[in-house]
Structure 1
Amino acid sequence: MTGAEIDFRAVFHALPGMVALLTPELVFVDANDDYLTTSGHTREQLVGRYLFDVFPDRPGDLAATGTRDLEASLRRVVQAGRRDSMALQRYDVESLERPGVWEERYWSPVNAPVLREDGTVALVVHRVEEVTEFIRARGGLEESGRSPVLQAELFTRARELQELNERLRHAHAREREIAVALQDALLPSPDEAGPHHAAVRYRPATSSLNVCGDWYDLVALSGGRMAVAVGDVVGHGLSAACVMGQLRSALSAASRASDGPARALEVLGLYARSVEGAESTTAVTAWIDWGTHTITYSSAGHPPPALLRGDGDIEFLDGATDPPLGARPEHVERPEAATGFTAGDTLVLYTDGLVERRTEDIDVGLGRLAAALTGHRGAGPEDLADALLSDLLPPDGVTDDTALVILPL
């Protein structure tokens, strides 16, 4: 039989186990026969409806986490385009025979993406296996028809999965506390900009902890000058944040001891060779001299800073761009460029999470940024930062970290 002769719709409905197809907005597209039978719903009762309208958490149960855990898994699949297997879940359902009566149920879910040619998620395959009978001790041996030895073994394994899941939840909560403390320790306060108040924003990807591999830095230099930098370590979470902390500190020290931004990035690049996980890190640093009204800058593979002029014009500082840290096997001097500014201009540094999208060219994102900056010219730094995040970040969350620094000149 050739592929053209296979009735894949019939195959889908004959699949053993519960399988549903969801849109990226988590709306039912279809469900196979086992899903309909086990859930007790008809196809008409599911198709076109939001998953959690059909299967909400038990009302009034503050400990119920079924919808929250499942939604988080499905959102990870949509955002990252990768399969996500969940730990054993308790997810109670309302009895179809007795409305208002909720039954304790246990499920083992796996969620996987169906990708378009451009890599975006077209559908989510939501497969679940009901394991309630393995969890229930009362009446389980007689009702299941399995041998007492097998049933006891299954019950023991299911209980172990439950306990492991609880330990993972506690560990995740502890890891989040560590992440928040690490973020506070690693990133500088905007007050370090001295008399020139900078607005800063820091947004980890929605699927990560409250810490990420993006960073910003504000360094007071001699003669009333200032160095402003942002950088982006590949990856998310605690490991990326630890690398971020080392590189940010190294660049901060190099800026204080170097004669310009290019030399500071050269020193950082040499240091990055000794830091595991620092490969392909991007960074840009700009030195502001209020005495000469000059911005001198250098970039290691990073999106260009934007200079918002007082009249609304935008200049992208892209005159000194070089490869990311560690991209060259030998040391090469990095380029440096300068531009003038006037009082009332605003310098904006950011990481790629603000402008890059997986399915479009970077110039499209830079155009959005330019339009947003022009549209909000005249706003104070804090209001401008909030406006940029509101205008440019997707409302359902982002898959990449974002750091943003806005410095009025």
Structure 2
Amino acid sequence: MTEAGGPSIRSRVLDAITDGALKELDLDEMLGVLLERSRELLGVDTVTVLLVDRGGEQLVARASSGLAAEVFQGVRVPVGRGFAGSVARRGEPVLIERVDESTVVNPLLWEHGLRVLLGVPMIAQGELAGVLHVGSTTSRRFTAEEVGALQLVADRLAVAVHADRTRAERAAATMLQESLLPSSLPSAEGWELAARYVPGAESGVGGDWYDVFTLPGDRIGVVIGDVVGSGLRAAVVMGRLRSALRAYALEYLDPAQVLEKLDRKASYFEHNTMATVAYAIIDTKTHLMNLAVAGHLLPVVAVPGERTRFAPAPVGPPVGFDLGTTGRRGVSVPVPPGSLVVLYTDGLVERRGQDLDAGLERLRGAVGPMGPEAACTRIMAALVGDRPATDDVALVAIRHSD
């Protein structure tokens, strides 16, 4: 309660959440400091923060003042159920004056003797970050000013949580992406390879990937793909699809069949996910490239003495959402000595406000029968230049040197 003639609860909370010293603290330290201050300023017995999990379906206890057991025991509350779940679902303050199994999911709250609970949503950038709630072991009423003050604390914490998660997701996505890109490209007599990967300046690391691996029978597998979306989730899905494709590549000789299996896997296990993929198997003895394309841009093929062209492959639907249930088809493309094949993701050729066909034509014009490293350098200079690409760019060049 506010002392007569003293500063209002709102002004005292504002002082607490705008303290410059908070900038020097990590998230857990900030949570600890602000929960203790809130407990004192509001005259309550407990203050707890529950953060929404990655799936957006559960609230997980992250920090508490006065009821640490919630955190230590990993309390989880489904969004939409009980007290905290109702706050999350409704996106507005909720007050309950009876704390028991009929109103609260977590038994620790009534076992602790709490009689009144007030909870407010933590929302940042229009997204739910969690729930902040306070509890009292004695009956009391919360004024509109106190509810507003608690919401101020929740808003400050939501911004901190959002920023922390964004930093953590970017770091995790970057590490995951780097760990999954080939550290070196395989070599085969008469065949040279080079590659590039550059994360998008606006989207950050996402779901673009390339992969090159040797296969039994003097064959080389080459993959280029792009999971819809960006950030950690897209990178995680990309990693799972990459691993699955490698496994299918050992079992099936036909790239179209490999993509068919990948589509089934993505549709069943990767809900609400879609990816474009081009998968080629180069037979180093017959000089043929067997190619299947799932919604991806066609590879560029440059043969000495011929006009550079896009591979004449049928383009099936992307993988995911059971889009490829009617079957997938591939094509065999000759790769005679001196030829160059280039696979790439759309970040190389797409630019905001520019026609995709124009970007593809610039790419075709930059590709010719040359070494793969020189080709990558020339392509990146022609299509990226000195301005950062807004989306991820992945590029693989393969030359038949014999």
Normalising by structure 2, what TM-score? 0.58
Q: 1:185 to 1:156 in 2, by over 3 A?
A: same
* Other structure's SS at 1:241 match: helix
Partner of 1:117: none
**Aligned 8 A contact 2:185 2:194 in 1:** no
CA distance in structure 1 between the aligned counterparts of 2:237 and 2:12, rounded to whole angstroms: 47
Tell me, which stretches of 5 or more residues in structure 1 are unaligned? 1-145
Read off the aligned partner of 1:159 and give its amino acid letter: D
1:198 pairs with 2:189 = no
Identify the residue that residue 261 of structure 1 maps to in structure 2.
Answer: 255
Helix, strand or coil at the partner of 1:246? helix
For the pair 1:156 / 2:150, whether they are aligned, the reply is: no
Work out the CA distance in 2 between the residues paired with 1:224 and 1:367.
33
Deviations 1:374-403 (A, max 9, x none): 4xx53x322321221222126332221111
Unaligned runs of 5+ in 2: 1-5, 28-159
Quote the offset at 1:276 in angstroms: 2.6
Q: What's the offset of the Cα at 1:307?
A: 0.7
Sequence identity (%): 36
TM-align CA RMSD: 2.8
Q: Which among 375, 378, 397 is matched to residue 387 of structure 1? A: 378
Q: Is the partner of 2:200 in helix, strand or coil? A: coil
Aligned to 1:38: none
One-letter amino acid of the counterpart of residue 401, structure 1: D
Taking the TM superposition and a 5 Å limit, the aligned residue runs for 1:5-404 are 151-159=11-19, 162-163=22-23, 167=27, 175-195=169-189, 196-209=191-204, 211-276=205-270, 279-311=273-305, 313-328=307-322, 331-374=325-368, 377-378=369-370, 380-393=371-384, 395-404=386-395
Aligned to 2:397: 406
Cα distance in 1, alignment partners of residues 282 and 213 from structure 2: 10
In the alignment, the residues of structure 2 paired with residue 161 and residue 400 of structure 1 have an alpha-carbon distance, to the nearest angstrom, of 37
Residues of 1 paired with 2:183 and 2:248: CA distance?
19
Deviation at 1:173, TM superposition (A): 5.4
Give the Å deviation of 1:295: 1.3
* One-letter amino acid of the counterpart of residue 202, structure 2: S
In the TM superposition, what is the alpha-carbon distance from 1:327 to its structure 2 partner? 4.8
* Paired positions, count: 260
Rounded Cα–Cα distance in structure 1 between residues aligned with 2:378 and 2:279: 23
Distance in 1 between the 2:357 and 2:307 partners? 17
Q: CA deviation at 1:329?
A: 5.4
SS in 2 for 1:252: helix
* Inter-CA distance 329–319: structure 2 relative to 1 (3 Å threshold): closer
Q: 1:277 to 1:383 in 2, by over 3 A?
A: farther
Per-residue deviation, 1:181: 2.9
Shift in Å, 1:246 = 0.6
Other structure's SS at 2:176 match: helix
Residue 338 of structure 2 aligns to a residue whose secondary structure is coil
**TM-score normalised according to structure 1 size:** 0.57
Q: 1:354 to 1:277 in 2, by over 3 A?
A: farther
Residues in 2 aligned to 1:329 and 1:200: alpha-carbon distance in whole angstroms: 30
Q: Quick check: 2:170–2:231 contact (8 Å CA) kept in 1? A: no
CA change 1:220–1:202 in 2 (3 A) is: same
Amino acid of the structure 2 residue aligned with 1:337: V
